[in-house]
Chains A and B, each alone.
Chain A
């Protein structure tokens, strides 16, 4: 089946630095990718929808200047957490949609655990 890969799987950084997380669709082209944040014992919270070649659409309450999303190609989207702080520590998960916008199946990456010291 389709595979979505995230990198890095774990990252530890100092407060104030920026961290980039990559999400790649390995065997299909994804015009749409989604970024989620998962808190302990909480559901996945959709942060933004990433569309290839255009600006990401952010969910209410998500700071677009803090969480920079770039979808430069049909197989790669990146999430950059800028000036990270301890409260940004979380599990970030991406998903990519194959096929049509309303019917395509979503495939999820393995997640990236960010720890900000």
Chain B
């Protein structure tokens, strides 16, 4: 079946540092890929997505590129802020090992940004 592996946290950075959170996936077919963010005390929110190979999703300064050759969807941000502190989840939907509407999540990576 489908699976998502993302880097274990926690990740602690200083403000304005560069962020990378690695995410790789296993799926048959052509899944859509997502990054969700969970701020403290809140539900998950969609951060960005990409639906086909070489697509780049971007939002709020975050970017991730769908790399089919390396089955990866790494999340990056050039300069993090304290307000980016949250848990980040990589997810996929639509691989043939899953179903068209179910999301398969990675374990989540806790990011803490210090001033």
Main secondary structure of the interface of B (DSSP, over half): loop
Cα(A93)–Cα(B103), bound, Å: 13
Q: B residues near A, CB below 8 A? A: 4, 36, 41-46, 89, 94, 100-103, 105-108
* Min CB–CB distance B46 → chain A (angstroms): 6
Chain B residue at minimal CB-CB distance from A44: B105
Q: Which residues of A contact B44 (CB under 8 A)?
A: 44, 93, 95, 108
Q: Which residues of B contact A46 (CB under 8 A)?
A: 102-103
Whether B107 contacts A41 by the Cβ 8 Å rule is yes
Whether B102 contacts A97 by the Cβ 8 Å rule is no
* Min CB–CB distance B40 → chain A (angstroms): 11
Residue in A41, A42, A97, A110 whose beta carbon sits within 8 Å of that of B43 in the complex: A110
Q: Which residues of B contact A6 (CB under 8 A)?
A: 43
* Min CB–CB distance B49 → chain A (angstroms): 9
Q: Which residues of A contact B102 (CB under 8 A)?
A: 34, 46, 49
Cα(A95)–Cα(B43), bound, Å: 9
* Min CB–CB distance B90 → chain A (angstroms): 10
In this complex, which of B41, B101, B106, B107 has the most chain A Cβ atoms within 10 angstroms of its Cβ?
B101
Q: Does A27 contact B (CB under 8 A)?
A: no
Residue in A41, A102, A108 whose beta carbon sits within 8 Å of that of B45 in the complex: A108
* Min CB–CB distance B91 → chain A (angstroms): 9
Chain B residue at minimal CB-CB distance from A94: B43
Cα(A85)–Cα(B107), bound, Å: 25
Cα(A6)–Cα(B42), bound, Å: 11
Cα(A6)–Cα(B103), bound, Å: 19
Residue in B46, B100, B108 whose beta carbon sits within 8 Å of that of A43 in the complex: B108
Q: Does A78 contact B (CB under 8 A)?
A: no
